[in-house]
Amino acid sequence: MAPARRKMRNTASCAVLAVILGVTCRQTTFTTTSQRSKLLVVLDLDETLLHASLCKDESMSWLPPRFWQPKIDFEATGKGLVVDLGEEVPLFVSLRPGALNFVSWLKSREDIDLAVYTAGTEPYAKQTLKKLGLEGCPALFREECVPFGLPITKDLRKLREDLTRVVLVDNSAKSFWLQPENGLLVCDWDGTNASDQELDRVKDNLLQLLDMDDVRPALRRKPPDAPGDAVDLRLVIIAVALGCWLVSQSQ
């Protein structure tokens, strides 16, 4: 073949190859962005974004600070936080440092869908959603939690069927029992540590997850070893023993 023709053929092949590569790349980029859903960030409220306490009175300061509130951002009313019994009482709520900025950052992201999933009762939780700027965002309350033995847990499928791009930000490992690979565990906010920076860490983690087609391998956690879980186990044992006793009494 004459050198000139060979050169032309090579140039033509290169051009064809470039076009094929270009089209393939464009298609790949196009399909990944179109197939990848927004990252659904599901927020817990109590002890994750805020802490509510029954008492603001410093005369109670002989109790650990989380039972009286050194810093109060707003007041709300509720029926008690753990057991839904009794009268409505005033609650003194302290926002986690950075909570408002964290929420506005989440809301500003085009690639994030935001939801709230709380074991708190709806009337109480709605007051806090308003203060956090989360009103109008999809929210599941206590009724949508799943009883799972004594502690209640959360089922993310109530928010989205496909869990590849869903992350639950929660301070309680129990909330992850049904979908352990979708949980981002945060340490408790009990209203006391003024230099808490946990939400900055969560933001950094979420930024990493945003780039992943499936967030679950990255979130796969080691089994919970928080001291709180030992307490819950004791409560489970007490509840089971109480149940057995009640059954034996009724026979």
Ligand X SMILES: *[C@@H]1O[C@H](CO)[C@@H](O)[C@H](O)[C@H]1NC(C)=O
Residue numbers of the site for ligand X (CB under 6 A)? 193, 195-198
Residue 188 in the binding site for Mg ion (CB under 5 A): no
Count the Cβ atoms, other than its own, within 10 Å of residue 167.
26
Of 170 and 198, the one with the shorter C-beta distance to ligand X is: 198
Q: Which letter does DSSP use for residue 68 in this model?
A: B
Residue 128 in the binding site for Mg ion (CB under 5 A): no
Cα 18 → chain centroid? 45
Q: How far is the CB of 59 from ligand X (least distance, A)?
A: 24
Q: How far is the CB of 236 from Mg ion (least distance, A)?
A: 18
CA-CA distances (angstroms) from residue 116 to 84, 139, 148, 170? Answer: 20, 4, 20, 10
What's the burial of 228, exposed, middle or buried (CB within 10 Å: 0-12/13-18/19+)?
middle
Of 78 and 97, the one with the shorter C-beta distance to ligand X is: 97
Residue 46 in the binding site for Mg ion (CB under 5 A): yes
Q: Which does 197 bind (CB under 5 to 8 A by kind): ligand X, Mg ion, none?
A: ligand X
Candidates 41, 43, 47, 145: give the one binding Mg ion (CB under 5 A). Answer: 47
Q: Report the candidate in 110, 103, 115, 101 with the shortest Cα–Cα distance to residue 210.
A: 110
Q: Which does 198 bind (CB under 5 to 8 A by kind): Mg ion, ligand X, none?
A: ligand X
Q: How far is the CB of 193 from ligand X (least distance, A)?
A: 4
Helix (H) or strand (E) holding 146: strand 146-147
CA-CA distances (angstroms) from residue 34 to 28, 39, 80, 206? Answer: 10, 13, 45, 20
Stretch in the footprint of Mg ion (CB under 5 A) among 89-97, 170-178, 191-199, 235-243: 170-178
Of 101 and 197, the one with the shorter C-beta distance to ligand X is: 197
- How many CA atoms does the CB half-sphere of 114 hold within 13 Å? 18
Q: Which does 28 bind (CB under 5 to 8 A by kind): ligand X, Mg ion, none?
A: none
Interface residues toward Mg ion, by CB under 5 A: 44, 46-48, 171
